[in-house]
Structure 1
Amino acid sequence: MIKLSKSGWNNVIIFVVMGFILLINVVNKKVYSPETDKNANQALTILGQNQVILTLSIENVVLVERIARTWRARPGNISGQALEQMMMSWQQSSGELMIQAPEIDRQFALNVTLDIAGQSQPLQLNVYATEQQLLVFNQNTQQWLALPIEIYGQLFPQEIFAN
């Protein structure tokens, strides 16, 4: 065994612990590196995490606005639990990021504008429903997101457009 003084052994322990911390960081960066995430199809939410919706406008016909912790829709075709569920769907729905833009007829888009707390510019979305999936184009980031078609009914309940 190597004969070291007490302060010598303390230095050895400090350097071993620092080396172990560096090893953990290197392994962590290789496992969770952003380069591997960019290559894989990511599941992304329509909104970023921890973003708070202040208002949601659909085709400038329906306006949903936050009032404290509740929501109010104008016109008032939808309210209560159904409106809460709709807004929760906007907050939590996720899909896959599309690398290549799909070929669709852009005149059939539903234009959605979201005012997000802390952002000066509103979030502009174009939503397209196809037979297989729901496509969301984020005009701010120029990205396409593909969601399951079943989410359409949660994002746009029938009551919202009822007259």
Structure 2
Amino acid sequence: MVKLSKTGWNNVIIFSVMGFILLINATNKKIFSPDEGALNEQEIALVGTQNVILTLDIHNVVAIERIGRTWRATPTHISGQALAQMMMSWQQSSGEAMVQVPEIDRQFSLDVTLDIAGQTQPLQLNFYATEQQLLIFNQLSQQWLVMPIAMYGQLFPQEIFAN
């Protein structure tokens, strides 16, 4: 066995742990980095789980704002657990990027404006519901996304538009 002082052994342990961390980090980047072929069909988050939604305005009909860890809708057609579930859907939803621009009538869009913490410009999204899918146009990135039509009910519950 090698004879080292206490500080010598501490240095050996420190450098071996650092080397192990670098090894894990390097293999993690190789395993989980997207390749060039998967770039065309990648999932893009509407908002992203790391972003914090401050307000959500749906077509100047309903305004939802964050109050601490809870949400408040104005007018109060939806509240409590249903509102929290809706906002969780917004936070976690993602769609596939569309390569080709769809042909739709843009006057039938549902306009949504989101204020995200730390961003100077609000995120503006236009939603178009077809029979089979939900099309989303992100005005900031000028990108089209597609989602299953079932997501429409999660992002826009019926209670929101109740009179």
Q: Where on the TM-score scale, by shorter chain, does this alignment land: which range? A: 0.7 to 0.9
Aligned length: 142
Pair 1:38-2:29 in alignment:
no
In structure 2, what is the Cα distance between the partners aligned to 1:125 and 1:133? 16
Could you say which residue in structure 2 is the equivalent of 1:128? 128
Could you say which residue in structure 2 is the equivalent of 1:103? 103
The TM-score with structure 2 as length reference comes to 0.79
Could you say which residue in structure 2 is the equivalent of 1:146? 146
In structure 2, what is the Cα distance between the partners aligned to 1:80 and 1:135? 28
Query: Which structure would you say has the larger Rg?
Result: 1
In structure 2, list runs of 5 or more residues that go unmatched: 1-18
* 1:60 Cα deviation after fit: 0.9
User: What is the root-mean-square deviation in Å for CA atoms of aligned residues?
Assistant: 2.3
The TM-score with structure 1 as length reference comes to 0.79
- The one-letter code matched in structure 2 to 1:94 is S
In structure 1, what is the Cα distance between the partners aligned to 2:65 and 2:94? 22
Q: C-alpha offsets along residues 56-109 of structure 1, whole Å, 9 cap, x if unaligned?
A: 000111000000000000000000010001101111112211011111110110
Shift in CA distance, 74/100, structure 1 to aligned 2, threshold 3 Å: same
* 1:36 Cα deviation after fit: 3.2
Name segments (4+ residues, structure 1) moved above 4 Å: 28-31
Contact 2:112 2:124 in 1 (8 A): yes
* 1:33 Cα deviation after fit: 5.0
* 1:123 Cα deviation after fit: 0.2
Shift in CA distance, 59/29, structure 1 to aligned 2, threshold 3 Å: same
Contact 2:55 2:66 in 1 (8 A): yes
Could you say which residue in structure 1 is the equivalent of 2:87? 87
In structure 2, what is the Cα distance between the partners aligned to 1:140 and 1:50? 18
In structure 1, list runs of 5 or more residues that go unmatched: 1-17
Contact 2:48 2:92 in 1 (8 A): no
Shift in CA distance, 72/99, structure 1 to aligned 2, threshold 3 Å: same
Could you say which residue in structure 1 is the equivalent of 2:57? 57
